């Protein structure tokens, strides 16, 4: 037994020693290539020393090889050398040199260098603070990071890329939130889409500036041309109503479509309405149902109500009472009075739901509370009709359901 154990220990030792020798051989080969000027080998060797992979961590040695690769134009080496100067790793801290190397990497569109230099401009660390320049850099980094966050089969890399994109987008939003009107204008004039959109919102609402519909349209129009979904929706709405621009339903539908294809729920709903009525597009119930569904699945209450109606009537979809009731219920739970009314009728008839007068009473009572105008009068008449069909214990059941709903809504 002792002999077997000794053999195992010796074998493991030989194995570990073999691995170490193989690793040493690979590092020696990498160093030889680096010494001949191979820029990728120089960067790889620096990375190993920087992180202590296969060698003892040595920032000074890492800095030597990063510099050689950086001087040959290796963008990531330039950024890493900037990081080392910024943090005093393996060399004396020197923000001036750090910024110089960041700039060289930025000139090659290195995304992280763009972000890091932008953050330095936003803080004024080692450089004169300039929020506009900060936004220009962080915006470039955020746009690039968003494009890089594509799943390619490696979940860990994908999640890391998404986290980086979210971090950069958050920094961009924080910069925009703190900028003055003049700074926003300067950034917008240099093509920053979100600055353009922000100006459109500010001029449209009259926040921090006199309300100006012309300026709102100007800036939203520029952001829309770059594909910003809320600005695309804004332009569609104004084209549809003719506010500030010629009224043009076809133009409105095209603006809505561009926003809808990027997931803007209100645009999807409006595009569905246009297909249902044939305004600006050929009338097409199936297309209407398609866009209603996309908005409804995002929680858009009116789209849920409309999709329920499509299922109830078999327009654009196969008629299905259960689906109709389901979509009415989702809209009704969000306070849509028409959906609450429709759902009440279905419970009163057992249409797509079990026959349930208690539920009918609950939903018709909520509809009566939320409805207005002529619709409220119609709802109240139907409520009287439903109550007349109910036994006293069913009314009490409905009242108890209503009380529970009200308590739940008030949080008591």
DSSP line for 54-84: SS---HHHHHHHHHHHHHTT-HHHHHHHHHH
Instruction: Count CA atoms within 13 Å of residue 202 on its CB side.
Output: 19
DSSP 107: T
The answer to whether 339 and 308 are in contact (CB under 8 A) is yes
CA distances 183 to 104, 131, 192, Å, are: 26, 7, 11
Total-model pTM: 0.85
Coil vs helix vs strand at 149: coil
192's CB contacts (< 8 A; 6+ apart) are 135, 136, 139
The answer to whether 37 and 64 are in contact (CB under 8 A) is no
Residue with tokens 């917008």: 188
Pull the structure tokens for residue 377: 């009068």
> Cβ–Cβ contacts within 10 Å for residue 111, how many?
22
Residue 37 CA from chain centroid, whole number: 44
pLDDT score at 22: 55
The answer to whether 359 and 394 are in contact (CB under 8 A) is no
pLDDT score at 9: 32
- Residues belonging to the chain: 412
pLDDT in tens, the chain (412 residues): 443 333 333 333 334 344 454 577 888 999 999 999 999 999 999 999 999 998 999 999 999 999 999 999 999 999 999 999 999 999 999 999 999 999 999 999 999 999 999 999 999 999 999 999 999 999 999 999 999 998 888 899 999 999 999 999 999 999 999 999 999 999 999 999 999 999 999 999 999 999 999 999 999 999 999 999 999 999 999 999 999 999 999 999 999 999 999 999 999 999 999 999 999 999 999 999 999 999 999 999 999 999 999 999 999 999 999 999 999 999 999 999 999 999 999 999 999 999 999 999 999 999 999 999 989 999 999 999 999 999 999 999 999 999 999 888 777 6
Instruction: Count CA atoms within 13 Å of residue 303 on its CB side.
Output: 23
Domains assigned to the chain: 20-108 (1.25.40.10), 247-334 (1.25.40.10), 336-412 (no CATH)
DSSP 222: H
Residue 122 CA to residue 36 CA, distance in Å, equals 41
Residue 244 CA to residue 239 CA, distance in Å, equals 8
Ramachandran sector of residue 208 (left: φ over 0; alpha: ψ -120 to 50; beta: rest): left
């Amino acid at each position: 037994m002792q002999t077997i154990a000794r053999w195992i220990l010796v074998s493991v030792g030989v194995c570990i020693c073999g691995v170490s020798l193989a690793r040493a051989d690979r590092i020696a080969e990498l160093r030889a290539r680096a010494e001949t000027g191979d820029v990728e080998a120089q960067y790889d060797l620096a990375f190993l020393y920087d992180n202590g992979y296969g060698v003892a961590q040595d920032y000074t040695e890492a800095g030597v090889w990063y510099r050689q690769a950086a001087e040959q134009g290796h963008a990531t080496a330039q950024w890493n050398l900037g990081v080392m100067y910024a943090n005093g790793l393996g060399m004396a801290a020197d923000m001036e040199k750090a910024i110089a190397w960041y700039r060289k990497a930025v000139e090659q569109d290195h995304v992280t260098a763009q972000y890091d230099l932008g953050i330095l401009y936003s803080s004024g660390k080692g450089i004169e603070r300039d929020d506009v320049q900060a936004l220009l850099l962080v915006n470039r980094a955020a746009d690039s990071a968003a494009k890089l966050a594509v799943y390619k089969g490696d979940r860990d890399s994908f999640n890391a890329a998404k986290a980086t994109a979210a971090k950069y987008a958050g920094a961009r939003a924080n910069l925009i939130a703190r900028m003055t009107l003049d700074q926003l204008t300067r950034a917008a004039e240099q093509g920053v889409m979100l600055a353009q959109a922000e100006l459109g919102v500010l001029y449209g609402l009259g926040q921090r500036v006199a309300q100006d519909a012309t300026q709102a349209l100007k800036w939203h129009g520029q952001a829309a041309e770059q594909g910003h979904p809320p600005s695309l929706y804004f332009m569609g709405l104004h084209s549809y109503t003719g506010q500030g621009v010629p009224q043009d339903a076809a133009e409105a539908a095209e603006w809505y479509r561009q926003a809808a294809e990027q997931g803007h729920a209100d645009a999807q709903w409006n595009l569905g309405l246009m297909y249902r009525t044939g305004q600006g597009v050929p009338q097409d119930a199936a297309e209407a149902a398609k866009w209603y569904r996309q908005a409804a699945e995002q929680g858009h209450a009116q789209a849920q109500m409309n999709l329920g109606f499509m299922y109830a009537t078999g327009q654009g979809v196969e008629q299905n009472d259960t689906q109709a009731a389901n979509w009415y219920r989702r809209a009704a739970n969000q306070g849509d009075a028409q959906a609450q009314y429709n759902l009440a009728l279905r419970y009163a008839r057992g249409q797509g739901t079990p026959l349930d007068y208690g539920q009918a009473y609950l939903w018709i009572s909520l509809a009566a509370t939320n409805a207005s105008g002529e619709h409220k009068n119609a709802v109240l008449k139907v409520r009287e009709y439903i109550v007349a069909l109910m036994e006293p214990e069913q009314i009490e059941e409905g009242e108890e359901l209503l009380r529970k709903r009200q308590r739940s809504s008030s949080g008591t």
